[in-house]
A = this chain, B = another copy of it.
Amino acid sequence: MRTIEWKDNKVIFINQTKLPTKLEYITCANYECIAKAIEVLAIRGAPLIGVATAFGLALAAVKSKAKTKKQILSDLKKAAARLRNTRPTAVNLFWAVERILKKANPQPDVKSTVKAVVLEAQAMAEEDVQINKKIGEYGASLIKDSSTILTHCNAGALACVDYGTALGVIRAAWEQGKKIKVIADETRPLLQGARLTTWELKQLGIPVTLITDNMAAYVMSKGLVDCVIVGADRIASNGDVANKIGTYSVAVLAKQHKIPFYVAAPISTIDFEIKSGAEIPIEQRNPSEVTKTGNTKIAPDGINVFNFAFDVTPNELVSSIISERGIAKPPYKVSLGRWMQK
């Protein structure tokens, strides 16, 4: 089964908070259920958040009791407002809302609107898989045989409908017969690397070694890393990359050790409307994610905490950006500009 699926007017998806100990599925019959799943990170990963948002709007359409076109558009906009409010950083969420509303707007009546919205959401899910396979194909050309690739957080099938972006590139290289190995940062606080990336790679049979985030510099200094590849939550038009907290740290360390740093993401992750990463809102999450691991309290009561969920890697630290359209090199203003959608 894919990470997320539309079935009988419901949405079924993996509960990512339970992995790796339990493979559990959640079924949602309304958009509020999807919104909550995004907020608690049962659904996470920029491309998956995009498709889940589209499915959330499709549920809103299916459940709507609207009698008129105006009413169903109003219901969709209400659902869109709720979904937009879940998480601020991944631009795919906002992209998905726009794309669905654009499809709904010109429909002549309620019935055709429901049908169009559901079909569009399903199409977006299908496209996601094809896009990731394309990213994998292009990106694999950058991966040398017998190399070791460091990755941060999870940009795998679990961050998408299927196949993955950064892990899609690794997977494509592996499918081409390249004898590669992966080093996975655990990615505190929510440990998506330890819990999800290792789980996915183990299922695929790709050799993986888990490290704490603070070990990346040392393994690089020991010559154990040939390249870094990560996903993205939002890419500015100048190539600045917002991704899971710690990505910027890895990029600085890669530069220090002269290791290429690649970003793999669909075009829907590029925000052509912003000039630089300075305009990307960085989500701050609950301090308890830092002060607890599982049910274990790891810090004194009432301690002050920063919990930035993302950081921004400036474009000068990014060797290439891989999308379904190919491989972009600096200057990104030019190379990403060519990918801009009409």
Binding site for B on A (CB under 8 A): 20-21, 152, 183, 185-189, 191, 194-195, 198-199, 202, 207-219, 221, 245-246, 248-249, 252-253, 255-256, 290-291, 293-300, 303-308, 311-312
Specify which chain B residues have a CB less than 8 angstroms from the CB of A207 in the assembled complex.
304
| A249 and B298 contact, CB distance less than 8 A | no
A186 with B188: CB separation less than 8 A? yes
Residues of B within 8 A of A185 (CB): 214
A208 touches B294 (CB 8 A): no
Q: Is the CB of A252 within 8 A of B217?
A: yes
Q: A86 to chain B: closest CB distance in Å?
A: 22
User: In the complex the two chains form, what is the Cα distance from A188 to B296 in whole Å?
Assistant: 14
With a CB–CB cut-off of 8 A, which chain B residues contact A305?
Answer: 209-211
Q: Give the Cβ gap from A307 to chain B, nearest Cβ, in Å.
A: 8
A316 shortest CB reach to chain B, Å:
11
Q: Cβ of A212 and Cβ of B245 under 8 Å apart?
A: yes
Q: Given A20-B300, A300-B20, A300-B202, decide whether A306 and B188 contact each other with a Cβ distance below 8 A.
A: no
Question: Of B198, B216, B252, B253, which contacts A300 at CB under 8 A?
Answer: B198
Residues from chain B with a CB closer than 8 A to the CB of A199 are 300
Q: Is the CB of A299 within 8 A of B245?
A: no
Least CB distance, A317 to chain B, in whole angstroms: 9
Instruction: Known contacts A253-B252, A256-B256, A311-B217; decide if A212 and B300 are in contact (CB<8 Å).
Output: no
B298 touches A293 (CB 8 A): yes
**A209-B304, A210-B303, A252-B256 known; A218+B191 contact, CB < 8 A:** no
Q: List 20 A-B contacts (CB under 8 A).
A: A186-B290, A194-B298, A202-B300, A209-B304, A209-B305, A210-B290, A210-B291, A210-B306, A211-B290, A212-B246, A213-B214, A217-B246, A217-B248, A221-B248, A221-B312, A249-B249, A252-B252, A293-B294, A293-B298, A294-B294
Evaluate whether A290 and B212 lie within 8 angstroms (CB atoms) in the complex, with A188-B186, A296-B296, A311-B217 already known. yes
**Inter-chain contacts of A186 with B (CB < 8 A):** 188, 290, 298-299
CB distance from A229 to the nearest CB of B (A): 17
CB pair A208–B304 under 8 Å, yes or no, is: yes
Chain B nearest CB: distance from A58 CB in Å?
A: 33
Q: Collect the chain B residues with CB atoms within 8 Å of residue A21's CB.
A: 297
**Contact across chains for A217 and B294 when beta carbons are under 8 A apart:** no
* Distance of A205 from chain B, by nearest CB (Å): 13
Report B-chain residues with C-beta under 8 Å of the C-beta of A219: 306, 308
- Chain B residues with Cβ below 8 Å from A212 are 188-189, 213, 245-246, 290, 307
